[in-house]
Structures are given as C-alpha cells and as structure tokens.
Chain A
Amino acid sequence: VLLVLGGLVLAVLLLSGTSPPGHTQEAFTAVAESVNRKLVKVYGSGGFQGIASGGTGVLVSSQGHILTVATQMLDTRDLRVHLWDGRRLKAEVVVIEPELDLALLKIRPPDNLPLEPLEHFDISQAAQQPLAKPGDWVLAISNMFQVATREEPMSVQRGVIAAYGKLPIQRGYTEAPFAGEVYVIDAVTNNPGAAGGALVNRKGQLLGLIGRELRNRQTETWINYAIPVQAAVKVDEDGKDKLVRAVDLVELGVQGKYRPAVVTKRREGKGAYTGIVLVPSPVERTPPYIEDVLPGSPAALAKLRPDDSDRLCRWRAGQHRQSVQRDRPPHRAGHRATARGPARQPHRHRGLADDRAARCAAATRRAAATRYAAARVYPQAIEERHPVHATID
C-alpha cells in the first residue's frame, strides 16, 4: 500500500511540477537574494580601453575560496573582492587551470584572522546533479558592466538554455577559451564584468559559471555561454589521458593540492612555437610587444629583434597568458589576419601615429615569415625554457 501511495504522491508531484514558479508571475526576488550572498565582486587589473577591471566570483568554501573565470583581470598582486554585505577584502590566486579557463581564489582575511564562515555553493554536490537541459529556465547573476559595488546587489537576468555543446574554436573568427562542453544561453549574459558569475536554475542551484565575452568576428554576433560545474576536459599529459575537472580544481584546490594539467602534446598540430617572448600582458588587449627573442629560435633565425615599438598582430587577444603559453597553438602561417594588420585597421589602434602604423605593417610582414618558420618547432621547448610570467606567442 505504501508503495502505491508513493506512486500517487509521485503523480501529484508531477502534476504540480508542471507549474514552476518561473512560468507564473512569482518573482525571483528570494532566489536572486540568496544567490547574491554567495557571490563576490572581483576587482583586478584592467580598467582602460574598454577592458573590464572587474569580474564576478562564486564562493565555494566557508573560508572564502572563490571560483571564477581565468581572465586577464587576475594578473595583479592587488586583487580585491567585495562581499554581498559591502566588506572589501584582499584576495589572492590559489591556482589557475587554463584547461578549464577557471581560477580558484582565496580571500586574505584582514590581520590573518579567520573569517566568519561564509555562505557558499557546494560544488561537489552541484557537480553530481544532472545537467540542465535545453529549454530550461535559468537565472544569470553577475556584476555585469560593474554596475554594483560594495553591498549593492548584483544584476539578475533570466534566460533559457539554448544548447549544450562545445564552442566553435575557429581561429580568427571565434576564439573560444574553453574546449569543453558549455551551456549556451539565449540572454545577453556575457558582458564586461560578468565572467565568473553564477548560472543557476529557478531554485537557485548552481549550474555553471558565466564565461567571457565571446564574439564571432565574422558575423559580429555574441555568444553567451557558461562553463558547467560538471566541466571536464580530456587532455594528454605525458602520453596519458587525464581528465581535468572543475570539481577537482575546487576540492583539491581548497586543500592546496591541485596541480594544473601539464599538457605535453599540442592538439591537432595546428600551430607552433615561434620563439618570440612578448611583454607581460596585464590587460586583455595589451599590444603584443616583443620583449625577447629566444636564441636559435625560428624567430631569431628570421632575424626578428626585441624592439618594443614593433607590434605583431593582435589576434591572440582574449586569453589569459597562461592559456596562451600552455595550450593555444600559435597562429598558422599565411593566415589572413596577417594581411589585416594594424595599418589597415586604424580604428582599432586609436592613438597610433602614422609612422608607427607603417612600422607595424613592417612588423606584420616579418611576423608572417616568423610564423611560417615556427610551424616546425617542437613546442616542448617552451615549457622547459620559460617560466610562467612570460607570454610566448
């Protein structure tokens, strides 16, 4: 009898389950408020040329561990977060996983006194939940356009999961910073400052982290995606398959035990190492000035010199420098981006004098040759020779 009664209860649940709060006019106030308390506003480097100096982070431990997207904003020693109650605290990067395009931060409490336990999302538990399905209603909560500071609540948007799948990684058109499967959302959620925000379902359960701003350069359309909490990417480490998972980043990272994947084999053999060391990239669109040319490298063979007024093309913008170094293949030889160098796109290089534009064109030509030569270099050399603080193209 109990079993059967259970069946009845189930039937009733199913019936009532067809009228979720979102479809009625019930407001999302309570959900937005509870999620907002588990998010932080992150402030780092940037803040000029339209580059966001702020982002959003998700609290994943009671002691102040924060999961966010590994944007250029984290390239600073002066990282700050604002909690929902207006507290402004220092934070530091614990570990970055370029394969997931995610970073784990930790709040540095004032005077090193332990913080009062903070409200947070349980990533381990969230990762065990089934994936949201296309058509499901979601809420995106983030500090987009950095419109809120201190205790001001973040922005909440409503959307629908449009798709679940991999982002197109088509160099020159759309450069997806994450190779795994993502939620694609039908609302304009991925705005400046939104990266690292929470994608939740109607009940406020965490589904994923809002990704970067991503634009298809051919169609000038924007793709709004979120990295799911179940994110997992298979990589090749020392000839063995390794599954890089967001949940491990958090679980091990909180204990200080997470080791980012060391990818030893380049994917697809699309690109290669050139030997050009670029100046460190504090912001997303730092022009790729050459800081050094590795002796004996293809770049050196191509007689490329370190010269801080020479610019290469700008197509590698948009990735954290570690991503660039570890994973992203350099540009392919003869790619048409070389023909669209700075000289022909003056609007993208405001403030650049004409003679500089001409020199850029020259640098572009040299770079084209370099890249061609670079296509044959074995990339492992990069890992060995260069510490993480240099950006290599």
Chain B
Amino acid sequence: MHTQANGSGRQQRRRLALWLGWLAVLGLAGSMWSAAAQDLPPEVLEAQTKRIQAIERVKPAVVAVFDRGRKGGGSGVLIDERGYALTNYHVVEPTGPFMQCGLPDGVLYDAVLVGIDKVGDVALIKLLPKQPGQKFPTAPLGDSDKVKIGDWAMSMGNPFLLAVDFAPTVTYGLVSGTNRWQFPQGELLEYTDCIQVDMSINPGNSGGPLFNMDGEIIGINGRISPKRGRVNSGAGYAISSNQIKNFLGHLYGGLDMDHASLGATVRSEGEDGEFARMVVQEVLDGTDVARRGLEPEDELVAFAGRPMGSVNQYKNVLGIYPEGWRLPLTYRRNNEKREVLVRLQPLRAQAKEPPAKQGPGPIIGKQPAPPPDPELAKLYKAKKGFANYYFNELERDRVLAALAKHGDFATLTGSWSLAVDVQLKKTKRPGKLELRQRGPDGDPIVLYSLGAGVEYDLEPLKDQSIREKQDPPGSGGLLMAMYVYRRLLTLGAKGFEGGFVYGGFEPAYPVTGDAYPPKHWKDQRVDCDVIKATHIDAVSKFYFDRKDGKLIGLEMSLARDEDPCEVYFSDYRPVNGRQFPHRFEVRRGMDRFAVLTVQQATLGSAQEGN
C-alpha cells in the first residue's frame, strides 16, 4: 500500500491519509476500549499465567510445621520425595524431635527431626508416609548465586498460622539485596550471605521457602529486620539455597553441625581511607592457616573464589561453609599473591545454647508434646553431637553400600602386595608396598621399600611413637594410611572401634595429573561424601565421590595439630574382579610426597594365608 500511495497522485494520497487517520483513531479507541474491559496485553497475561503455574507447581511441596500439640509452629518445604523437608532450626527448637506437618492437600503427617544447623538456622525434618512407598511432592533447590537485586521472588508459608487447611499463603515481591549479613544471636542464628526480600514475611513464615519465578527454592525465610515488633518491616531475610547445599549432607546425616572460622583474627585496615583491606592480625596456634604459613599483616584477597575486601564479605564468605571443609585461600604478601588450601576451624569452641527466639520466629506452643507412638519413636536415636543418630546410620550404610558396588573386599584378608613405581619429587624408582598378614586373625605389618636399603615397616598395634607411625618421613604416615585403607575395605565399620560415622558433604582436591601444584585449586575440587573413622590413634576421613560412590581419597591424622597424610586413589582397574586403584597420590600439607603407580597388585584372600 505504501508503494502504491507513493506512486500515485495527490488525491490518492489524501485518501490514504484519511484511511490511515481512521485506522489511528480506531486503534486509539480500540486500546481505550480494551483497557476499559480489563483486557490486558498478552505479555502481562503471559507473565501472570507463568506466575500462577509456578505457584501451582510448587505449592504442594510447602509444609506447615507444628509442634505435636499444634499450638505453635512455622513453615517448611519438601525437597525429597521420601519426605525430607527444610525448615528453620528456630522452628524445630521448641518442638523437640517430633513434630506434625500439614500439606496443602489438607493431610497431616507425623514428622521427625533429621539434622540441624544451629548457627545457620536450618533444620531438616522427615515426614512419614501414610503408606509405604508414598512419594511426596517436592520443589527443586535453585542456584542462589544467580539471584540478583531487583529479581521477582515469592515466599510461601503459614504466616500467623492462618491456614487451618494447611494451604500456604503466597507473598510476592522483589529481591531487595543479596549477600547480606545479619548479626548472630550469641553464637547461633547468624545469617550470612542471605537474600533480602521486600514481600511480607511474618511470624509463622519461618522455615518456609523463597522461590524464584521458575519455582526453584532460592532460600529459606527465617528473619526480618525488627521494627517495634516482629511483623513485616519491608525487610525479610532468607538463608541462601547455596549455603544450605553445603550443609545438606550434614543435615541428611542427622548431625548437629558447626560453622567455621578461619583460625586467624582479621582486622579491617584503612577504614579511614577510601578503600578497606582485610589484614591478618593474629594466627592461632595449631590451626591449618598457621601450618599453611599465613602470617600477621598478610592481606586476605579471596576465599573459595570470592573476594574478601570488607568485614561483611569476610563474614559472608566464611559463614556459608561447615567446619572442617578445605577451601582455597588467596592472600597477598609483599605484593605477591599466594593460594593455599585451608581447613576451616570450628566456630563454637564450647557450645552455649541460648533459646532461639527472634523474628519472624515460630509461634511457640505452651502445651507439652504428647508422646509419639512407638513406630515413630523408632526413628529417633539421641547421641551427643547428633540431632538424630538414626539418620546418620542410614547415610553411613548408603555410602558403604555404594562402596561395595565397586567390589567386595571382605574376604581379602590375606597379604596384599603392590609392586609400584614411586615418583618422588625429583626421582622415580621402583618400590614395593606390602600389607603382610601373619596368621588368619592377626593384624598385618605394613612394609614399604624403595630398594637400596630404604625400607620402612610398621606394626600399627605395637609401635607406639608417633614418629614411627608417621613413616616414611614427610608423608605424615603413609604406612598407617594404607593400613586404615585396608581396614575400611576389608572390615568396614567393624574395623574402627573408635567411631565410624557419616560426616556429610566435603570437597576433596585430588590432583590426577603430573603437574603440581595446580594453577587453581578450585579446578581440582570433587564433591564427596565423608566417613569419619577412628582406629587406635589414627583419625581418618574417607572421601567418596558423590557422583558414583567411588572412594577417591583418605586423610589420616595421628596428631591433632599436625597435617594429616592424604592419599588420593585413581586409575581404578579390575584386580580379581574388583575395582582397585592403580594410582596413589600421597600428599601432606601443600606438598606432594609421592605418586605411586601400581605395576602389579596381589590381594590375597584369607584362605591363602600369607
């Protein structure tokens, strides 16, 4: 039409103008009419539909948590179809180990406490199915590092315990801030790296999920900024889903876990200047940072890949990790940047536990909880250091079952002999590693020879001095480590009389290549399940790759204030029909002691004797 009009005479042009004018007027009228009829544009309707769909999708997973007298409670969200749900520690603190949970379909379930994180204010509970095999609706855990200020988000829960039919209340708003730090109450309930939101968060919302618009859980609501009372003040805070993911193994494992400190006191320098720096003030004796050579006046640059330029950043980055985790720390000394792996210290030396009371808070019931029925009581085992030891046994057995899939070593209690190539720092030579069995029931002797008269032997139960047990020198105790390794494979939990518990998730950093040290430690990270085991004076941690349950490493420590011996297992190949590692990377501290490459492995069974 345009081209036609351009090519024609004046009259035609005028007629076209008239037409277009009419069109414009019609368009205007049309838009006014549609607005009057509340007929919204497609983008708005689409956004609304998407929002409603997201709500419909995740709503069934939102939990109303009550104490057994149903006088008080909070909220929660199911993350596992077996019935595991996240909530706040301060919601379950008054309920004790048993609680009742309502789901939006109106059904009330019994539930039991699984794990707690008192500092992070998170708890995991498990709803009990009404029929065996019943699957619960769930919502997925999202990536809270992707959450940005200004994003839309929605909270669900049971504010003021309004819903008698357990249908959750939805409030909708913006993410006001990310990576916020909110002071602790005593030593507990410190909200680090949390998400700040502007939608209404009120008493009863505690423990409920914060969703992004795709219906993924990006946080657990648990706190507000108080404004003369514990009701909505325009600033609610949610524990980030990524922090929860770090503790999730501990939570599933029924642990009462601790957060971490660096092991050094740090001051903010240059507060009066334009920019601040975080400077080490004092390094505490016996800590991992001390062994890694951190000194006063070193400037902290980054931790776990995040900058540490301010007090808040420092607290935020440290606050999201459990005690005992090993993470890369970058510091600057004389304008030179260094990166080391640091094991985190426990935060609470001696736990003093004040009652958890804070906004928005649970609504605490006054009635004592009626005793649970015997079926329910079976699911709770009290033990020091655990929220519920019953679940630790479950997780421990899960890890052991996965280990057994790679081969059953129970019958291989004869002598083991490994012909190895030993790559030391500068030289490479052939060697032999032996676990020599004497008699069917005795303990093996560990022998390690490198030829040319270099030989070490260890009788774990006889040798008393720590120095002997740490042979060969510089390894931190390779012989002892091989000894506990065999005990794990052949005896399992029975081999560790001093304790054998599931320890949650932890990262390990095996270096499978020849180049050492790696450029960035984070590139080596493998997320693992951990078993903590003690046999005589050897305290060990076994690392199992969470992807396939394979044992990829162990850490064996003989003295609390010294670096453990680390052995990383790779290059698994079949030996007698079982998967056995053919590469042992032996490290201590930041040093690689040796890499042992197995040329031939003989794993004798009990019948064969020695």
Contacts and interface: CB of A to CB of B under 8 A. Distances in A.
B194 to A, nearest CB: 10
B41 A147 contact: no
B21 A7 contact: yes
Contact of A188 (B28, B151, B182, B234): B234
B31 A5 contact: no
Interface stretch (B96-104, B269-277, B330-338, B469-477): B269-277
A145 B13 CA distance: 64
Residue among B20, B40, B176, B310 with the most chain A CB within 10 A?
B176
A18 interface: yes
Contact of A144 (B13, B42, B225): B225
B173 A158 contact: yes
Contacts of A89: 274
Given A4-B21, A28-B174, A86-B310, A155 B235 contact: yes
B587 to A, nearest CB: 37
Contacts of B234: 144, 157, 187-189, 191
A15 interface: yes
Contacts of B174: 28, 139, 156-158
A1 interface: yes
Contacts of A15: 27, 31, 41
Given A11-B28, A150-B276, A86 B309 contact: yes
B274 A87 contact: yes
A278 interface: no
Contact of A157 (B21, B47, B198, B309): B198
B46 interface: yes
Interface string B222-235: 00010110001111
A388 interface: no
Contacts of A14: 28, 31
B195 to A, nearest CB: 11
Interface string B198-234: 1000000000000001000000000001011000111
A58 to B, nearest CB: 18
A17 to B, nearest CB: 9
B151 A27 contact: yes
Nearest to A86: B275
Contacts of A36: 149
Contacts of A24: 43-44, 46-47
Nearest to A187: B234
Given A144-B234, A158-B198, A8 B20 contact: yes
Given A87-B275, A88-B271, A145 B198 contact: no
A387 B441 CA distance: 97
A27 B151 CA distance: 5
Contacts, number: 155
Contact of B235 (A16, A27, A147, A158): A147
A153 interface: yes
B40 A18 contact: yes
Instruction: State the majority secondary structure of interface residues on A.
Output: mixed
B177 A188 contact: no
Nearest to B276: A150
Nearest to B19: A4
Contacts of A220: 228
A33 interface: yes
Contacts of A188: 227, 232-235
A252 interface: no
Given A32-B150, A88-B273, A191 B28 contact: no
Given A15-B31, A24-B44, A157-B234, A29 B149 contact: yes
Interface in B159-181: 173-180
B311 to A, nearest CB: 8
Nearest to A220: B228
List 8 tightest A-B contacts by C-beta distance, closest first: A188-B234, A28-B150, A11-B27, A29-B150, A7-B24, A19-B41, A32-B150, A157-B198
Interface of A: 1, 4-5, 7-8, 10-12, 14-16, 18-19, 23-25, 27-33, 36, 86-89, 110, 139, 144-145, 147-158, 187-189, 191, 215, 220, 222
Interface of B: 13, 16-17, 20-21, 23-25, 27-28, 31, 35, 40-44, 46-47, 50-51, 148-152, 173-180, 182, 196, 198, 213, 225, 227-228, 232-235, 271-276, 309-312
15 contacts: A4-B24, A5-B20, A7-B28, A10-B24, A15-B27, A25-B152, A36-B149, A110-B274, A147-B225, A149-B311, A150-B312, A156-B177, A158-B198, A188-B233, A188-B235
